[in-house]
Amino acid sequence: MAGVCRSETRVVAMDFGVSDEMATMLAMIGEFMVREVIPLEGEMLHGDPALLAEGVHAAQAKVKQMGLWAPNHPVEFGGLGLSMVDHGLFAEAVGRSPLGMLVFGTQAPDAGNVEILHQYATDEQRERFLRPLVAGEIRSCFSMTEPETAGSNPVLIATTAVVDGEDYVINGQKWFTSSADGAAFAIVMAVTDPDAPPHQRTSMIIVPTDTPGFNLVRNVSVMGHVGTGHDSHAEVIYQSCRVPRTNLLGPEGGGFMIAQDRLGPGRIHHCMRWLGIANRAFEMMCSRANARVVDVDGGTLADRQVIQHWAAELDAEIRGARLQTLHAAWMIDRHGARAARNEISAIKFTVANTMLRAVDTAIQVHGALGVTDDTILSYWYRHERAARIYDGADEVHKTSLGRRILRSHAQL
Ligand SMILES: Cc1cc2nc3c(=O)[nH]c(=O)nc-3n(C[C@H](O)[C@H](O)[C@H](O)COP(=O)(O)OP(=O)(O)OC[C@H]3O[C@@H](n4cnc5c(N)ncnc54)[C@H](O)[C@@H]3O)c2cc1C
């Protein structure tokens, strides 16, 4: 697949073609998703969480045997050193099931934590936290958002980490610390210097979850689902929670900068995972439309013009969103995440909305079946609405993108 890049100063041919090796890997993943991962969804929707955990564990072991465990990880830790475009294609393939990322060891929030630990951790932190995380022996969480301050602007964070001798003492309330339930450690964003300029007030600190004062109050119920383990969003109160100063991740005052590093490429992974969802919802919609007889003479939903229009519009929209996302990934590969921030902001709100439209339209075509838990569609409808909120709400991305676009035109 090739094209021409508009945002380069000179015309540059883009090529999203994949290597033979990558094509083989994508084919293996596609086949594994159908054979091993999608069949586990029944257990996820209706079954026993313990049986689901067993099934996921068995599938993870097979992924490791196939040599496909967490290809996003740094090469020195067994990852494959994929380009951002290849990484996106991988996320699209495993995104077809809510269990895909977990089975392949690339789930949020661990994947983002691996990235920042790899970039900023000391040797000791790497051995203690990064190595077992990469091996899938432990899980982690990321604790930034607070119920009492606007998460859209992390400079407002109120949680404090005060130096006391050789320790930090952390106090504050967080929520939506996803997957804290069962995690071995949290990376907490807290104010270490309230008098510093706003973007240098906070730091990232690693807090093992068995530290006294790390209080997991509850898993917050989301759209009727409390969740457990990886599939949960915790409220956590840090109450005189004391960790050694050596648990500081990166420089003191570097919290905001590290949070930005964590979110840039992560948005490509989210967008491509959402495209996996959009693709599968679209395929389900088309199958249902072809099969569902609505006329006495055997005519199906697919014979109706309104459904034909939905299919045409969605197909075009998904293809457009996919090309836009691959372009953003290509820009990151070529120029780095900072240079691609306009492209990243644009795909964050575009792809989230395309995915939600695909899920909603597929539900409409399925009728009553669409809102039952007999298909995966209702799960996505509940769980993926948040796509327009986390990692930057639509409005925040549109405002900053629009501002930059208008400024760039003022300079012409
Ligand atoms: C499912 C899910 C998982 C999450 N996981 C994590 C996690 O693991 N760790 C973590 O720390 N956090 C997590 N979050 C929290 C997420 O990062 C925040 O919800 C997000 O940053 C928004 O913050 P807020 O909820 O405080 O909303 P607010 O900041 O209060 O914003 C509310 C709304 O106001 C509007 N808005 C905000 N700012 C502007 C603006 N400048 N201009 C125009 N409109 C604006 C937007 O519509 C926004 O949705 C998760 C959230 C969800 C829903």
Q: What is the DSSP string of 187-240?
A: EEEEES-TTS-GGGSEEEEEEETTSTTEEEEEEPPBTTB-EETTEEEEEEEEEE
- Is the pLDDT at 60 greater than 90, yes or no? yes
- Is the pLDDT at 270 greater than 80, yes or no? yes
Domains of the chain: 2-114 (1.10.540.10), 140-249 (2.40.110.10), 257-410 (1.20.140.10)
Query: What does the pLDDT read at residue 3?
Result: 52
Alpha carbon nearest to ligand 1 atom 30, residue:
150
Tell me the C-alpha distance between 390 and 406, whole Å: 25
Query: What does the pLDDT read at residue 9?
Result: 47
Q: How far is the CA of 178 from the centre of ligand 1 (A)?
A: 13
Q: How far is the CA of 150 from the centre of ligand 1 (A)?
A: 7
Query: What does the pLDDT read at residue 72?
Result: 81
H-type helices in 6-139, by residue range?
Answer: 20-32, 41-46, 49-65, 84-94, 100-103, 110-120, 123-125, 131-134
Q: How far is the CA of 262 from the centre of ligand 1 (A)?
A: 16
Which residues line the pocket of ligand 1, CB cutoff 6 A? 109, 142-145, 150-152, 176-178, 233, 386, 389-390, 393, 395-396, 399
Give the residue-averaged pLDDT of 318-334. 95
Residue from 145, 232, 399 whose mutation best tests the ligand 1 pocket (most atoms within 8 A of CB): 145
Would you place residue 263 in the very low, low, confident or very high pLDDT band (cuts 50, 70, 90)? confident
Query: What does the pLDDT read at residue 251?
Result: 97
This prediction's pTM: 0.94
- Is the pLDDT at 215 greater than 70, yes or no? yes
Please say whether the beta carbons of 7 and 19 come within 8 A: no
Tell me the C-alpha distance between 319 and 295, whole Å: 32
Residues with Cβ within 8 Å of 360's Cβ and at least 6 positions away in sequence, in order, are 381
Give the residue-averaged pLDDT of 375-396. 96
pLDDT tens profile 5-47: 555 545 567 777 889 999 999 999 999 999 999 999 999 998 8
pLDDT tens profile 298-311: 999 999 999 999 99
Other C-beta atoms closer than 10 Å to the C-beta of 247 total 23
